[in-house]
Chain A
């Protein structure tokens, strides 16, 4: 699965909350089969960008998924078009069981047999979830909730997955596990757009990366290159260049 064809392209995206521009005229693209990461500090506009792609905040500019303009398309339609989401703060339905959480991701799917296969697949990737499948989502540990959020995104069998800070609030060991799973998912053919504060982890798995600072893209390039870039090292990795 090489880089063939543009999956998602963003041109001149601007998102404003009142007078404050959270994202200021950025352009980026994600090619099929890539892991692209968007890193930056708090308030850099990472999550806003992701929300615009998901169709839950208004924006100006052009967002295209597989050459189709996403403006005005309802959030649930965008998901059904093949863009699975791991929302910020995981978005687990706390009073519903793990199984119900997974079932919800197949809400628009009618192919029962295939859905059953997808449960199997999710449980192979996250055996821990199978043990907890009848437990309420809110009673899971942070790491398990994150696994559930990723598993849920897998259930929609999407060609692309958007993740908003999957490392948030997790122990370094768990973060490594989650990122390992993301690599596996990517290798199985899912294109990934990853928004992260944990720059080191994100850059080490990314094919390409964009660095956002106060709403603007200040750097971009292959993940490994940025990992060695003195500006990134100083600002985001806490290493003196």
Chain B
């Protein structure tokens, strides 16, 4: 069994040198997004769609952490999104001075995410005391509660909705938050904590017996997930400049679920692809009118038949995988080829 060590070393060097490309590329795209926004290089409608894609990527990633990586089933993500949207909007419209709103916008989005995260923590505690499908029921109920609570708060406009936000969500901001969420969730997944998350999906009892504090892991993962759903909500509110409780109903939660399973469970690349394909496809198919609501489910059914794990299920683009893990799998393949 011969292992070609020089080839592996070459590969390692190539990987490490090539990795410089990534930050460079990101800075370039960020600059591009600034330029596009500044000089209106793209049609505002196209810009809008791109920002939708970005927001959906954040939502899909955050739900994938729970449904894909951890193997639990949450269906109430629109609820956390609503909390983020309303908290951020309330801050920029009612609390922050009008001339400062644009500067304090990141703070408002953060606050929306934080409140959603805290609520996520509160929801997670009782629901993870039990095993199995209870989380689906609890989060389903949670989504409904959030919607009816907002409908009954007059200060937030009740069922009429809340408006007065400036259009503060811009291409650079959305890009920035997408980057943050990809970075945070990717690093989380490849950490010791992340292995704990994956082991819960694989076999929860075995995970307990391997000394993983499964309760702790579940609650923390759910909190992180809710935080990012809240962030997406804040961005969404300041893009649409109008939110009402109906925008965050079960249909919205289902949309996020579809993007997760379309792109592929347990994959960052899958979340990005799923959110992009679904959002863009729905726009492209707009001329089909009512028929697109027939076409999209059909796509899903076909996908589940031919690729039950989604486009990228449990697989990953190499950019998202840390060098050490990539080297490991490369080594293994080299060895296999050598035998």
Q: Which residues of A (47-81) have their CB < 8 Å from a CB of B?
A: 54, 56, 74-76, 79-80
Q: Is the CB of B208 within 8 A of A76?
A: yes
A95 at interface (Cβ–Cβ under 8 A)?
Answer: yes
B314 at interface (Cβ–Cβ under 8 A)?
Answer: yes
Q: Is the CB of A87 within 8 A of B209?
A: yes
Partner-contacting stretch, out of B23-31, B152-160, B193-201, B221-229: B193-201
Q: Is the CB of B206 within 8 A of A93?
A: yes
Give the docked Cα–Cα distance between A97 and B213 (Å): 20
Q: Is the CB of A108 within 8 A of B198?
A: no
Instruction: Please tell me which one of the listed residues B199, B201, B205, B314 contacts residue A104 in the complex, with CB atoms under 8 A apart.
Output: B199
Given A95-B202, A131-B335: A107 in contact with B210 (beta carbons within 8 A)? yes
Instruction: Please tell me which one of the listed residues A54, A75, A93, A133 contacts residue B199 in the complex, with CB atoms under 8 A apart.
Output: A93
A85 at interface (Cβ–Cβ under 8 A)?
Answer: yes
Q: Mark A134-169, 1 if CB is under 8 A from B, else 0.
A: 110000000000000000100010000000000000
Given A87-B205, A91-B203, A93-B202: A107 in contact with B328 (beta carbons within 8 A)? no
A185 at interface (Cβ–Cβ under 8 A)?
Answer: no
* Chain A residues whose C-beta falls within 8 Å of the C-beta of B209 in the assembled complex: 54, 56, 75-76, 79, 85, 87, 91
Instruction: Please tell me which one of the listed residues A108, A131, A133, A135 contacts residue B211 in the complex, with CB atoms under 8 A apart.
Output: A108
Q: Is the CB of A104 within 8 A of B207?
A: yes
Q: Is the CB of B208 within 8 A of A104?
A: no
Give the docked Cα–Cα distance between A12 and B198 (Å): 38
Given A91-B205, A95-B314, A134-B329: A103 in contact with B213 (beta carbons within 8 A)? no
A105 at interface (Cβ–Cβ under 8 A)?
Answer: yes
Give the docked Cα–Cα distance between A127 and B209 (Å): 24
Q: Would you give the shortest CB distance from B150 to chain A, in whole angstroms?
A: 37
Give the docked Cα–Cα distance between A174 and B295 (Å): 54
Q: Is the CB of A107 within 8 A of B211?
A: yes
**Number of A interface residues in the complex (CB < 8 A):** 29
Give the docked Cα–Cα distance between A91 and B332 (Å): 23
Q: Which residues of B (178-199) have their CB < 8 Å from a CB of A?
A: 192, 195-196, 198-199
Q: Is the CB of A80 within 8 A of B211?
A: yes
B138 at interface (Cβ–Cβ under 8 A)?
Answer: no
* Chain A residues whose C-beta falls within 8 Å of the C-beta of B207 in the assembled complex: 93, 104
A94 at interface (Cβ–Cβ under 8 A)?
Answer: yes
Q: Mark A82-116, 1 if CB is under 8 A from B, else 0.
A: 00010100011111110110011101100000000
Q: Mark B263-305, 1 if CB is under 8 A from A, else 0.
A: 0000000000000000000000000000000000000000000
Q: Is the CB of B195 within 8 A of A100?
A: yes
* Chain B residues whose C-beta falls within 8 Å of the C-beta of A93 in the assembled complex: 198-199, 202-203, 206-207
| Chain A-chain B contacts (Cβ-Cβ < 8 Å), number | 84
Residue ID in chain A nearest B332 by CB atoms: A134
Q: Would you give the shortest CB distance from A50 to chain B, in whole angstroms?
A: 10
* Chain B residues whose C-beta falls within 8 Å of the C-beta of A103 in the assembled complex: 192, 195
* Chain A residues whose C-beta falls within 8 Å of the C-beta of B331 in the assembled complex: 134
Residue ID in chain B nearest A105 by CB atoms: B210
Give the docked Cα–Cα distance between A79 and B214 (Å): 13
Give the docked Cα–Cα distance between A176 and B14 (Å): 46
* Chain A residues whose C-beta falls within 8 Å of the C-beta of B213 in the assembled complex: 74, 76, 107-108
Give the docked Cα–Cα distance between A94 and B203 (Å): 9
Given A93-B198, A95-B314: A104 in contact with B212 (beta carbons within 8 A)? yes
Give the one of B192, B201, B206, B213 with max A CB within 10 A.
Answer: B206
Given A87-B205, A96-B202, A107-B196: A152 in contact with B210 (beta carbons within 8 A)? yes
Q: Is the CB of B205 within 8 A of A56?
A: yes
Q: Is the CB of A87 within 8 A of B206?
A: yes
The 4 A-B pairs of least Cβ separation, nearest first, read: A91-B206, A134-B332, A93-B202, A75-B208
Interface residues of A, Cβ cutoff 8 Å to B: 54, 56, 74-76, 79-80, 85, 87, 91-97, 99-100, 103-105, 107-108, 131, 133-135, 152, 156
* Subset of 25 A-B contacts with CB under 8 Å: A54-B209, A56-B205, A75-B208, A76-B210, A76-B212, A76-B214, A79-B209, A80-B211, A85-B209, A91-B205, A91-B206, A93-B202, A93-B206, A93-B207, A95-B201, A95-B314, A96-B198, A96-B202, A100-B198, A104-B196, A105-B210, A107-B210, A131-B335, A133-B332, A134-B329
Beyond A87-B209, A92-B206, A96-B198, 16 extra complex contacts between A and B, CB < 8 Å: A54-B209, A74-B215, A76-B213, A85-B210, A91-B210, A95-B201, A96-B199, A105-B211, A107-B192, A107-B195, A107-B196, A107-B211, A107-B213, A133-B328, A134-B331, A156-B210
